[in-house]
């Protein structure tokens, strides 16, 4: 089946680390993505991880993938007020005739100064 | 390089009217996608073009929605007649190629916020 789940809301203080979690159901997914949507803006690709990787780090962002539990997380170190946004995880199922991404509902990250 | 652009950014129409949304993909991207986010819910796939051909339109809600991509460049999504439940944000995305690999990463536009009253 196709279902990606995320918690709806996360609040952190500026300077703390944020961890946004996501679970997915399609074990054949090849790529898993994190997109960010700032208020009034479009979806910005933050990072992605290939399914044969466990971790990917990119500056303040760390993506962890637990394939056994089908769990994906995005850690933002030293969270800033500019990180306040909605974060969407998305999976790209393997094979098939289409490239459609399966998105979660998004997690609203609120960073308190 | 210009990103994906969408027009209009906002549209407010009455139930029963027609609205046409436009998307210009990144130059050279053969793949173009439409997605929609209804208030507070997940972003859902509508359809996928490869050049001017519809590769997958399994996400189109009903026959009130018509998407075209004449000439394989920009695309339009027309809703006729619009209903209240059509309100939401319509995103367009494009990618360079299909298949595996980072080259198929989908880049999104800013979206069109549609409100049907």
Asked if residue B50 lies in contact with residue B40, where contact means CB atoms within 8 angstroms, the answer is: no
Whether B105 and chain A come into contact, CB under 8 Å, resolves to yes
pLDDT at residue A86, rounded to an integer? 95
Q: List the single residue in B33, B100, B107 with the smallest CB-CB distance to A45.
A: B107
**Which residues on adjacent β-strands are paired with residue B22?**
B7, B76
Greater model confidence, B10 or B105: B10
- HEC string of chain A equals CCCEEECCEEEEECCCCEEEEEEECCCCCCEEEEEEECCCCCEEEEEEEECCCCEEEECCEEEEEECCCCEEEEEECCCCHHHCEEEEEEEECCCCCCCCCEECCCEEEEEEC
Looking at residue A103, what is its pLDDT?
93
pLDDT at A34: 95
Instruction: Provide the residue count of chain B.
Output: 117
Choice among A27-31, A81-85, A106-110, B38-42 with the minimum mean pLDDT: A27-31
The yes-or-no verdict on residue A61 having pLDDT over 70 is yes
Q: What is the mean pLDDT of residues B23-50?
A: 92
pLDDT, mean over chain B: 91
Instruction: Report CB contact under 8 Å: A103, B106.
Output: no
Average pLDDT score over residue span B78-87? 96
Q: Which of B31, B40, B56 sits opposite A97 (nearest CB)?
A: B56
pLDDT reading at A25 higher than 90: no
Q: What is the mean pLDDT of chain A?
A: 89
Chain A contact for B87, CB < 8 A? no
If you average pLDDT over residues B1-25, what whole number do you get? Answer: 94
B96 exposure class (CB count in 10 Å sphere: 0-12, 13-18, 19+): middle
- Predicted pLDDT of residue B96: 87
Contact state of B100 with A30 under an 8 Å Cβ cutoff: yes
- In tens, the pLDDT along B97-112 reads 765 555 578 899 999 9
- The pLDDT of residue B78: 98
For B53-76, what is each residue's pLDDT tens digit?
Answer: 999 999 999 999 999 998 889 999
pLDDT tens for A35-56 read: 999 988 889 999 999 888 899 9
- Write out chain B residues lying below 8 Å of A100, CB-based: 33, 45, 48, 56, 59
User: Largest Cα–Cα distance in chain B?
Assistant: 43
Please give the pLDDT value at position B66: 97
- Report B:1-60 residues touching A (Cβ under 8 A): 4, 6, 31, 33, 35, 40-45, 48, 55-56, 58-59
| Burial class of residue A95, CB neighbours in 10 A (0-12, 13-18, 19+) | exposed
**Residue A93 scores a pLDDT above 80:** no
Q: Which residues of B touch A33 (CB under 8 A)?
A: 105
């Amino acid at each position: 089946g196709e279902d990606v789940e995320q918690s709806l809301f996360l609040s952190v203080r500026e300077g703390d680390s944020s961890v946004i979690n996501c679970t997915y159901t399609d074990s054949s997914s090849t790529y898993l993505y994190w997109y960010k949507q700032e208020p009034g803006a479009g979806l910005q690709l933050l990072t992605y991880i290939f399914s044969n990787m466990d971790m990917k780090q990119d500056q303040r962002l760390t993506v962890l993938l637990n394939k056994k539990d089908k769990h994906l997380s995005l850690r933002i170190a030293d969270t800033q007020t500019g990180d306040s946004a909605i974060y969407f995880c998305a999976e790209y199922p393997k094979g098939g005739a289409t490239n459609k991404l399966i998105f979660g509902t998004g997690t609203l990250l609120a960073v308190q100064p | 390089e210009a990103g994906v652009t969408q027009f209009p950014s906002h549209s407010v129409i009455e139930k029963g009217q027609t609205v046409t949304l436009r998307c210009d993909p990144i130059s050279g991207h053969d793949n173009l996608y439409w997605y929609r986010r209804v208030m507070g819910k997940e972003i859902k796939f509508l359809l996928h073009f490869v050049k001017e051909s519809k590769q997958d339109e399994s996400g189109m809600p009903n026959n009130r929605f018509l998407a075209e991509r004449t000439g394989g460049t920009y695309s339009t999504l027309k809703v006729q007649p619009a209903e209240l439940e059509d309100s939401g944000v319509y995103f367009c995305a494009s990618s360079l190629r299909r298949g595996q690999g980072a080259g198929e990463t989908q880049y999104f536009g800013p979206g069109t916020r549609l409100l049907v009253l």
